[in-house]
Structures are given as structure tokens and as C-alpha cells.
């Protein structure tokens, strides 16, 4: 499910909740104030307040046994993916703890794993760590694409820095990406989405990395099947927020970014989505896309071939 659809469903739930409260005589202004308290300025958000359903008790247990949880996750990534990671944050869930991590090289990506906790005796099940199917694989593929198209992504980075320097929009904080994102290659201004399963061009590069994480950039380039590359398999989503609190998303900035991406000759090939949001982000879910957001996304992405 994409981010916009998740937000729409979440909004429907809030609407139904609101209707029920109003029927029971709850003050409308009070309810609106409570809803606003669920948001925070994107510049201030570092990941605090992010929660997973029914995770309060396991959150406490994981924190008390943090060293064991961290070691279990590090062993998992080293054994399964031959990748060293740094642990940034742990958030309790109904069955254990979701642990947000970042690779320490040579590739750059964020992801997460789940450490089960035995509720009966509050023990960490270190030998049963797992990740969502395809989650880590896609994160690694993101990092590989960043390395393969490093020069082009550097051009995109420079452009995004220029857009932000002009002062109307900002990105997400680096701390929030570290603490609650866990979604592959990410910068404060955009993120990549890929899949080694259906992408024939990147699959041999992924297999080479898993078998030899120390493979050189030249070896990875040689393994890449350029003739099989489909730009729709490299999805680049630009996610920006208004710098000023209370200001609606700028159509001028939104349209300028779209035009610049369409005209650029030195950006990475791929399928681009653009989101410009107001200044707020939802504390519990890390969502910034809302009903007033400006977006150009699937199925109307910008395809650069």
C-alpha cells in the first residue's frame, strides 16, 4: 500500500472517530485540538512519539535488555546479509521489538528487523530475529543503485540542496530517518524504492554483493545489466515540507521541481514522484502526506529514460 493510500485510510478512521465523538456530545473544538496535538513541525521531529500497536510493554523490556537486542540484530544482518549495521532505535511491538538500523558501509541504506520477545518470561529470542520479506533485500538494492549511479545522484543531491537553500521548503530531519524510517536509501529530501526480485538489471549486482560485500565499484558496474534496465524499477520519491508553520504547500515550488526534473539531463534515470506538504508530520506514524499535500505520483510519475 502506498503512503497516500495509507494516509487516506487513516484519515477515514479519524473521521469516523470524530463523528462518534460529536454524537456523544464531545466538544468539536476540543476534538480538533486533540487531533492537532498528533502533529509536530517537521523541523522539530526526531522520531519521538513513533509507536507500534500494543508495543508499550515490549518497548520497556527491549530497553532494559538493549545490549542483547542490539547484538542479536547485528548477528542477524552479518549472518543473513553479510552487512555490518549500526542500531539507531528500538520500538516495541505486540510480539517483540522493531529495531531500526543503518548500514555502516560500503553501501548506504536504512532498514529494520524484528526481535521476538517471550512474553511469559520476558526473554529476548536472539536466534529468531526476522525481517519482512523483501525489506532488507530492497534496501540493499537501493544502496547498490546509489553506488552504480553515484555521479547522477550527486547531481540530484546538489539540486535538492539548492531548492532548500532558496528558503520555502525543508526536508525531514536526519534523526527522524535514523530513528523511525527504515526504508532503504534515504536523504532528508528523497528516498529510493527498488526490488531485486523483479528487476533483472540489478539482480546480478545484488547476488555479487551478497557473495562478496567487498566487491569493488568496478566489479559491481560490470555485473549490472544495462540493457535490461527499466527506469520504472528505480523509483525516486521527493518529499518536501513547507518551512513556515501554517503555510499551505506551494504550487510554485511544486511545479518548478517537476519542470526541473523533466528538463534535467544529469539526474538518475528512474520514475520520479514529487510531494510537497505543509509543515506538519504525524508523530505516531511518520506520515507527512495529507489531504492538502501537492503530489505527482503513480500512475503519473515522471519517467526519465
Residues 6+ apart with CB under 8 A from 225: 200, 201, 202, 203, 204
CB 206 within 8 A of CB 255: no
54-73: burial string, b at 16+ Cβ within 10 Å, e else: ebeebbebbeebeeebbebb
d(CA 91, CA 179): 9
Q: Residue 230 belongs to what domain range?
A: 137-304
In a domain, 189, yes or no: yes
Strand partners, 275: 239, 295
Do 120 and 150 fall into the same domain?
no
d(CA 208, CA 214): 10
Do 180 and 283 fall into the same domain?
yes
Return the pLDDT at 27.
56
CATH number, position 76:
3.10.450
Residues 6+ apart with CB under 8 A from 166: none
Domain end among 106, 132, 158: 132
Element (H, E) at 136: helix 135-148
pLDDT tens for each residue of 116-150: 999 889 999 999 999 999 999 999 999 999 999 99
Do 203 and 157 fall into the same domain?
yes
pLDDT tens for each residue of 16-74: 333 333 344 445 555 555 566 889 999 999 988 888 999 999 999 999 999 999 999 99
Do 255 and 181 fall into the same domain?
yes
Amino acid at each position: 500500500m502506498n503512503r497516500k493510500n495509507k494516509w487516506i485510510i487513516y484519515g477515514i478512521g479519524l473521521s469516523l472517530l470524530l463523528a462518534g465523538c460529536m454524537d456523544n456530545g464531545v466538544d468539536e473544538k476540543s476534538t480538533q485540538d486533540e487531533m492537532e496535538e498528533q502533529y509536530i513541525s517537521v523541523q522539530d521531529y526526531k522520531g519521538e512519539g513513533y509507536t507500534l500497536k500494543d508495543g508499550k510493554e515490549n518497548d520497556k523490556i527491549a530497553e532494559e535488555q538493549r545490549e542483547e537486542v542490539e547484538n542479536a540484530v547485528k548477528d542477524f544482518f552479518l549472518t543473513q546479509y553479510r552487512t555490518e549495521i549500526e542500531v539507531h532505535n528500538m520500538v516495541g511491538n505486540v510480539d517483540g521489538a522493531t529495531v531500526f538500523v543503518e548500514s555502516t558501509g560500503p553501501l548506504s541504506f536504512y532498514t529494520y528487523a524484528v526481535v521476538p520477545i517471550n512474553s511469559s518470561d520476558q526473554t529476548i529470542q536472539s536466534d529468531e530475529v526476522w525481517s519482512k520479506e523483501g525489506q532488507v533485500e530492497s534496501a540493499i538494492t537501493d544502496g547498490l543503485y546509489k553506488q552504480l549511479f553515484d555521479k547522477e545522484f550527486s547531481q540530484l543531491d546538489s539540486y535538492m540542496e539548492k531548492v532548500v537553500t532558496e528558503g520555502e521548503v525543508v526536508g525531514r530531519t536526519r534523526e527522524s530517518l535514523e530513528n523511525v524510517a527504515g526504508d532503504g536509501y534515504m536523504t532528508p529530501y528523497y528516498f529510493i524504492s527498488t526490488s531485486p526480485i523483479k528487476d533483472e538489471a540489478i539482480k546480478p549486482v545484488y547476488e555479487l554483493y551478497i557473495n562478496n560485500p567487498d566487491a569493488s565499484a568496478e566489479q559491481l558496474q560490470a555485473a549490472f545489466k544495462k540493457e535490461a534496465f527499466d527506469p520504472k524499477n528505480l523509483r525516486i520519491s521527493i518529499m518536501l515540507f513547507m518551512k513556515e508553520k501554517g503555510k499551505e504547500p506551494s504550487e510554485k515550488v511544486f511545479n518548478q521541481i517537476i519542470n526541473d526534473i523533466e528538463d534535467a539531463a544529469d539526474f538518475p534515470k528512474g520514475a520520479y514522484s514529487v510531494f510537497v506538504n505543509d509543515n506538519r508530520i504525524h508523530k505516531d506514524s511518520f506520515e507527512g502526506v495529507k489531504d492538502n499535500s501537492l503530489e505527482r505520483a503513480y500512475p503519473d510519475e515522471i519517467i526519465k529514460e
